Amino acid sequence: MQLVVARVGRAHGIKGEVTVEVRTDEPELRLSPGAVLLTDPASTGPLTIETGRVHSGRLLLRFEGVRDRNAAEALRNTLLIADIDPDEMPEGEDEYYDHQLMDLDVVLADGTEVGRITEITHLPSQDLFIVERPDGTELMIPFVEEIVTDIDLEKQQAVIDPPPGLIDDRAEIVSSRDEDSARDDDSAADKPSAGDAGA
């Protein structure tokens, strides 16, 4: 199983270091010195991490054989890919790899079907499930324990307890429009028509 664990950013300094955009919850495991990573495009790899350090909140890596700024800049936008055992689990409790969550059925606690996870977006503040509903529309479900109450890999389900409006906002909009139009109909019925006024 291949997982994208980082994307190479711009060169840092003149000795071959690069900034990286981390895309794994386990950078200390996946992006440690000695790790050998596949790449996309494949022609730039495989790359072996020689050193790693954090500078101003950004992870900086240097790869074996990359010794100057030009060589580092040539790696810009390269995806770094780790080859892992598909049965391997993250070290932390209640942590999952993206591939384990993809295609899970999303249901409410009572079993009501909500949709299927088609994508996972990693934001600085939290992760989001992109969920495709049966009608083809998409929802964004924050992957936080207050909302995603259970992940059952055996049942291939993610159980959610959504706050009001998270998954039923369209229904509320439709119902409020219906009420508004009903009020308009009622007020129109109360007004005398031109014919009535003249009678």
3-state secondary structure 87-154: CCCCCCCCCCCHHHHCCCEEEECCCCEEEEEEEEEECCCCEEEEEECCCCCEEEEECCCCCEEEEECC
How would residue 46 be classed by pLDDT, with cut points 50, 70 and 90? very high
Mean pLDDT, to the nearest integer, of 150-169?
85
Share of the chain above pLDDT 70, in %: 77
Confidence of residue 168 (pLDDT cuts 50, 70, 90): confident
pLDDT at 38: 92
Residue 187 has pLDDT above 80, yes or no: no
Of 153, 35, 149, 51, the closest CA to residue 100 belongs to 153
The model carries a pTM of 0.50
pLDDT at 170: 45
**pLDDT of 32 strictly over 90:** no
Mean pLDDT of the chain: 80
pLDDT band at 91 (very low <50, low <70, confident <90, very high): low
Task: Of 147, 129, 149, give the one whose Cα is nearest residue 139.
Answer: 129
pLDDT (0 to 100) of residue 64: 94
Instruction: Determine the length of the chain.
Output: 199
Amino acid at the residue 25 = D
**184 Ramachandran zone, left/alpha/beta (phi>0; psi -120 to 50):** alpha
**Residue 189: its pLDDT value, please?**
47
DSSP state of 28: H
Contacts of 162 (CB under 8 A, 6+ apart): 108, 141, 147, 168
Over residues 179-194, mean pLDDT? 47
pLDDT digits (tens, 9 = 90+) for 96-125: 777 778 889 999 989 889 999 998 887 767
Model pLDDT, residue 58: 85
Residue 176: predicted pLDDT: 42
Point out the least confidently predicted range of 8-12, 57-61, 92-96, 147-151: 92-96
